[in-house]
Amino acid sequence: MVTVEEIEHVSKLMKIDVDDHSEYLEKVQTMISYFDILDSAGVESEEISMPEIPIEELRHDEHIPFGEKLIEKMNHYKGTYVRAPKM
Amino acid sequence: MMNLKISALEFVEEAKNGNVSVEEFIGKTLERINDVDDKLHAFLSINDKAIDQARDIDKRIKSGEKVGACFGMPISIKDNMCIKDSKTTCASKMLENFVAPYDATVISKLKKQDAIFIGKVNMDEFAMGLSTEFSAFGPSKNPWNIEHVPGGSSGGSAVSVSSYECIASLGSDTGGSVRNPASFCSTVGYKPTYGLISRYGLISYANSIEQIGPLTRTVKDTAFMLNLIAGIDPNDSTTVNNNNEDYLVNIDSGIEGKKIGIITEMVGDGIDPEVMTATKEAISKLEGLGAICEEVSLEMVKYSVAAYYTITATEAGSNLARYDNLRYGYDLPVEGYEFNSYISKARKNFGPEVTRRMIIGGFVPSAGHAGKYFLKAMKVKSKLTKEINEAFKKFDLLIAPTVPILPFKIGEKIDDPVSLFLVDINTVTANLTGKPAISIPFKIVNGLPIGIQLLANSMNDKLLLQAAYALEQTVTLPEVPI
């Protein structure tokens, strides 16, 4: 069961400003509770298979000029730097 | 009176032979959008250069210059694909003013073929939904009955094709987001083999399973579109080489002798009786065409929706991290904020469904919960893939209704997330396993459409289109009442 405290914690980790965490509690709890069905899938011994792409099939690791100064499309930049708030 | 109801192939033929003025066709299409879109809300933006582009194509046709295969065909584009110098909002306030600096690969391919992008169409915010009710700019309406949802997340795509506001559309399908609205609006909707179409320039939601796919009036039109946009792309390392397959050639080969598996878990509990009847009719028609149909069980289907939402929320949690107000997002001044609160403030403007999925996407893969949720979901995905691969050793194709229920009323399920999840039960399998799948318009019951879904093994897209074409030829449907 998900608690309001857990939702507060995850929201903070995900950097989402949520005014009222309890507003999300019921639906998130319902969704997570539904995921409990995975417990009865009997897949504990299953191996996770992932597609593999041989490195030689990837494009060459080389710079491809974009043709435009992308930084100029940012709202806040100075020279070649993006401006960000202080950390 | 210009016939806006023609198929893509008919349009191309008419335009090529000079029987249709592209400028006039585009003009009438824009008039149609003007007339009906207040009711339907398929479009988020309209291409104000469409008439000029059409005029240019007409000139080139008349002067005998080379013209691309689309001959100015009006196509709508789901608003999560980048068109250079056009707004690409993802139906989110977060990207309300984002102007794409480049073309998605599918867009550059269609531009080369002289397609005209008539406008960008509505969707659930960041493609998270299956009814288009979660668009930050308001829901689209089903043209068959505007009190009902058009499906989603590519709802605007399906509405625009079925209500003759364009000839074809591109949507994206993460868990059924092309096939579901295609079924609900009575259009063809296609999810190709994973990797067949480049995702470069598609705003990411869940990269490992999503694909761009066409929505069209006919199966042949889907094959035509696939010919134009499929193939390997150096900008998307997951693309596969299809050796320039021509999906139109031999599309009428028929399905005599083909073995079709009826997925037991998709025709059982929870299916609407009308949808069940339609499915039985479709099976009967396929048998009449010489196919051999038998039931086949995919036990993991029962867990597929939970696995799907766990995996997609996790990937979304990572993908949406880029909306930090610096690279993308609002134009907030950087002064007066601490770094984290600056980002949090921007993300406050995600809609409620996106926020929920971000929270879930942070929760299910987190330390202490990953073993229970994310890893199990990945194992279900692996086992489901094994099961379907086994099924394809015995069967050429699989069949199920695209959606187990009829299009529901707007607002009917919005407060019941699990009930909404289960609408996806028949579509997520193709995404989790990377298989191609298509929804074919099959029946109208009480004024609402039902689509039938066929699936094939990976890279058997051509066979799938042949079977879909065969089924399509057995059906005559009424026109959309709008």
Q: What is the pLDDT of residues B246-280, one digit of tens each?
A: 999 999 999 999 999 999 999 988 899 999 999 99
Task: Determine how many CB atoms are found less than 10 A away from the CB of residue B290.
Answer: 12
Please report whether residue B79 resides in a domain. Answer: yes
Give A86's strand partners: B338
How far, in Å, CA of B21 to CA of B7, rounded? Answer: 16
Angle at B398 between CA B397 and CA B400, to 5 degrees: 145
Could you tell me if residue B225 is inside a domain? Answer: yes
Give a yes or no: residue B127 inside a domain. Answer: yes
The β-bridge relationship of strands B116-121 and B43-46 is antiparallel
Select the more confidently predicted residue: B391 or A60.
B391
User: So which residues of B are the catalytic ones?
Assistant: 78, 153, 177
For residue B233, the SS3 value is: strand
Cα distances (Å, whole numbers) of residue B68 to B58, B110, B218: 12, 9, 21
At residue B397, φ and ψ (nearest 5 deg) are: -140, 160
Residue B69: CATH number of its domain: 3.90.1300.10
Cα→Cα distances B401→A76, B264, B278, Å: 50, 11, 8
B51: exposed, middle or buried (Cβ count in 10 Å: 0-12, 13-18, 19+)? middle
Q: Which two tokens stand for residue A70?
A: 């992308």
- Provide the pLDDT for residue B1: 53
Q: Where are the domains of chain A?
A: 1-39
Into how many domains does chain B fold? 1
Q: How many CB pairs under 8 A join A and B?
A: 151
Q: Confidence class of residue A82 from pLDDT cuts 50, 70 and 90?
A: confident
**Is it the case that residue A1 has pLDDT exceeding 80?**
no
Is residue B300 within 8 Å of B383, Cβ to Cβ? yes
The verdict on B350 touching A (C-beta cutoff 8 Å) is yes
Sign (positive or negative) of CA dihedral B326, B328, B333, B337: negative
Whole-number Å distance between alpha carbons of B140 and B155: 7
Nearest to B308 by CA among B153, B416, B424: B424
Question: pLDDT tens across B2-39, in order?
Answer: 799 999 999 999 999 999 999 999 999 999 999 999 99
Q: What is the mean pLDDT of residues B429-439?
A: 98
User: Does the pTM exceed 0.80?
Assistant: yes
What is the pLDDT of chain B when averaged over all its residues? 96
pLDDT digits (tens, 9 = 90+) for B273-308: 999 999 999 999 999 999 999 999 999 999 999 999
**Within a domain: residue B187?**
yes
For the stretch B179-226, pLDDT in tens is 999 999 999 999 999 999 999 999 999 999 999 999 999 999 999 999
Determine the residue among A16, A18, A39 to mutate to test chain B binding: the one whose Cβ has the most chain B Cβ atoms within 10 Å. Answer: A16
This model of the complex carries an ipTM of 0.94
Q: Give the separation between CA B333 and CA B314, rounded to whole angstroms.
A: 30
Q: Do B380 and A41 touch (CB under 8 A)?
A: yes
Banded model confidence at residue B230, pLDDT cuts 50, 70, 90: very high
pLDDT grade, residue A21 (50/70/90)? confident
Q: Is A25 on the interface with B (CB under 8 A)?
A: no
Joined tokens for residue B431: 């995404």
Q: Which SS3 state, helix, strand or coil, does residue A20 take?
A: coil
Contact B90, B126 (CB under 8 A): yes
Contacts with A86 from chain B: Cβ below 8 Å: 338-339
Nearest to A43 among B327, B333, B376 (CB): B376
Structural tokens at position B34 = 């003007």
Q: Give the residue from chain A lying closest to B422, CA to CA.
A: A34
Mean pLDDT of the region B94-118: 96
Which residue has better confidence, B324 or B457?
Answer: B457
Query: What range defines the domain where residue B214 resides?
Result: 8-229
Spell out which residues of chain A touch residue B381, defining contact as CB-CB under 8 Å: 48
3-state DSSP assignment of residue B289: coil
pLDDT in tens, B49-95: 999 999 999 999 999 999 999 999 999 999 999 999 999 999 999 99
Q: Is A29 on the interface with B (CB under 8 A)?
A: no
- Tell me the torsion sign for CA atoms B300, B304, B308, B310: negative
